[in-house]
Structures are given as C-alpha cells and as structure tokens.
Amino acid sequence: MLFESNLTRLEKVGVDDMSDAIWKRVYRCAEELTQQGVTPFSRGDVIRCVQRDDPSCSSDSINPVIQGLTDNLRGGAPSIVGKTLLHSVERGRFVLRDATAQPVSKESANTSGYREIRALENERNRPAEISWEALLIGGYAFKYICEIEPERNGDGTLRVSAPQCRYSNGEGLALNKYGTGPFCKFKIPWNITKSGVYAFVVNGHAKYVGECENLSKRFNMGYGNISPRNCYRGGQETNCRINTLLFESVSEGLKVALWFHETYDYKKVESDLRAQEKFEWNRA
DNA sequence: GAAGGAGGAACGATCGCATC
DNA sequence: GATGCGATCGTTCCTCCTTC
C-alpha cells in the first residue's frame, strides 16, 4: 500500500518514538481522507478526523501542526519531518504533498526550513541599544542591561512561584537540591540575542558570572522562568539555585542588576574571569 | 565517571490579525 | 462570527563540554 509505505519510511528515519505526536495523527488523517477520495481536503476535515481519535486534542493544537507540515505556508509548529507532507492548494484546502516522495531525513529537515525560520527571527530580533555605562570585572568591560525585577503581588511583595507543583512526575522523581525554591519570575528584554558573558551584580558586588549564546533566551527561558521539570532530579539545578538566590536577594531589599560583556569567545572569557576571581554564587 | 553548566531540537499552546 | 494564517513563547528532553 502506497501510504503505508510512506509512513513506514518516516518511522525508519527515526520518528517512530513519537506515536502520539499530533503531526503523525494529522498525517494519518490526510492519508485516510486522500484514500477516501476527499482531496483536496479542508483544515476542518483534518481536525475532525484527529479529534475523532482524540477528542481532547484541540483545534488550537492541531492548526499550527497542519501549518508546520505544509510546504507552501510559513510558520506553524515545526515537526521533525519539516514541511514535507502537505501542500496548500487554496485557502484552507490541502493535498498530500507528494505521496511518492521520499521523506527527508531528520538532519535535512533541521537544516532547511527550520534554519530559515530562525534566521528570520534573528533578523527581527536585532540587538537592543545597550547603555554606555560600563563596569570592569577582571579587566573586561560589562555593559548594564537591566535590574532584575521579579513579578510582585498587588501589595508589592514578591510573588512566589512554585512550578514544582505543576509537574506530573509520573516517574516518581525526587526534587533536586534546589527544587523547593522559593522561586520568582522575571524577564529581561527579548531582543538581546548576542552571545557573551553575563554577571549578576548585587549592590555593586559581582556575585555570579556565566556564559550564554543568547542572553534573552538564557534568562527568559531559563533563570527567569523555572520550568516544572527542572525542579526535579535530572533538571537544570543551576536555574533553580540562581533563581532562589535572586529571590532571596531581592526579598532582602538588595538591588540585583544584570551586566553583559558581549563576545563570541565567551567560554574563554568566563573561565578567565573565574580563574581570576571567586564569585560567591558560582560553584567550583 | 559524576556533576555542573549550557545549548538546542522537538513539540505544543496561545494570541493577534486576516479573510471568508 | 467562524475559520485560517502567522508569529511567538513555554516546556521537556537530550546532548555536549568542562571540571573535579
């Protein structure tokens, strides 16, 4: 059978461990509709078909997946197979892209469409103007980024975040050393995409230095927003530990500022700094 | 080898705007 | 108003590198 062999080939390229992935259900439905002679099929046809098997799967989840599988639509949720399965023939109507086409490998799927999306994002997120203010740490000039200002309650007290409570923990994992918090949530501007070395400066004293490839991501998707999984063993303990230290410092009324030294050679600069000075929040 | 620190891929959720 | 499209962000998991 033509369609069965296509799916089999997809599974052979390394995607057979994702039996519940929405993209796979979407593809099966597209095959099913095509076999029934419903081609082109509508977005709604696919959504109804997927929901027939899994009513809990909302159209909000299915829509970006359809988009992400369609070669001539931009955006959507990128899947492991890339934009290789569907083709939009008119607004809201699709056909299987090429029932006889060879699927792309995981590697090539990652290198084409996905990279183009990232390149566009990088272009959009041009670096922000960083203050001219500078701070010398170990001979390197750091620029001021912002003060760390966690979310607060209506009465001005720090809002305590407890992401560990949201983890389903089906494997019965223990909390890691720093998984109990308390945690806070904060963000820095999203448009500082440069690599370099950052420093937490508390009341004028550098407490921690670390490296990053993308400062905004490192903070907004790392330190500033602790994910439930990271509170448990195997999660990113460092994010938990540093977040709690920030929480405690700000709670005590201390000023915590983020400073940044932009460099491509961030590994060397970080190790150089840590060799020169001992920072209280860095571990050995 | 274990632990710490970080990057990145994959997938999904949500939101705003456009179009029918 | 419903549906479709596009963009952005969040979560989880995995891998890599370095240091001890």
Provide the token pair at A93: 């109507």
Contact present, A3 and A30 (Cβ < 8 Å)? no
Beta strands A140-147 and A93-96, pairing class: unpaired
Asked if residue A127 has a cis previous peptide bond (ω within 30° of 0), the answer is no
Residue closest to B14 C1′ by Cα = A60
pLDDT of residue A212: 75
Range 80-139, chain A: CB under 7 Å to any strand C atom: 88, 91-92, 117, 120-121, 124
Determine the pLDDT at residue A128: 32
The one-letter amino acid at A269:
V
**How many residues would you count in chain A?**
284
Q: Which residue carries 């950052």 as its tokens? A: A198
Q: Which residue is nearest to nucleotide B13 (CA to C1')?
A: A61
Percent of chain A with pLDDT over 70: 55
Round to a whole number and report the distance in Å from the CA of A7 to the C1' of B11.
Answer: 19
* Strand B nucleotides within a 7 Å radius of protein CB atoms: 4-15, 19-20
- Enumerate residues 6+ apart whose C-beta is below 8 A from A231: A163, A164, A167, A175, A176, A178, A179, A180, A181, A240
Alpha helices (runs of H) in A81-208, residue ranges in sequence order: 106-111, 113-124
Average pLDDT over all residues of chain A: 65
The pLDDT value recorded for residue A169 is 57
Alpha-carbon distance A81 to A14, whole Å? 10
User: Residues 50-109 of A near strand B (Cβ < 7 Å)?
Assistant: 57-58, 60-61, 63-65, 77-81, 91, 106, 109
Average pLDDT over residues A34-47: 73
| Residue A109 pLDDT exceeds 60 | no
Coil vs helix vs strand at A18: coil
Examine the pLDDT at A255 and tell me if it is beyond 80: yes
A209 beta partners: A199
- d(Cα A91, Cα A282) in Å, to the nearest integer? 54
C-alpha A146: how far from chain center: 22
| Nucleotide nearest the Cα atom of A197 (by C1') | B6
Mean pLDDT of A132-150: 76
- Residue A272 — left, alpha, or beta (φ > 0 → left; ψ -120 to 50 → alpha)? alpha
Helix axis angle for A59-69 and A43-53, nearest 10°, is 120
Given a cut of 60, whether residue A78 has pLDDT beyond it is no
The CATH number for A134-276, chosen from 3.10.20, 1.10.10, 2.60.40, 3.40.1440, is 3.40.1440
Closest CA to A85 of A145, A143, A15: A15
pLDDT of residue A257: 83
pLDDT of residue A249: 83
Q: What is the pLDDT of residue A102?
A: 35
Q: Is the pLDDT of residue A99 over 70?
A: no
Rounded distance between C-alpha atoms, residue A90 and residue A93, angstroms: 5
pLDDT band at A101 (very low <50, low <70, confident <90, very high): very low
Rg of chain A (C-alpha set):
24
Of A190 and A263, the one with more pLDDT? A263
| C1' (B12) to CA (A157) span, angstroms | 33
Residue A73 has pLDDT above 70, yes or no: no
Contact, A15 CB vs strand B, < 7 Å: yes
* Mean pLDDT within A102-109: 32
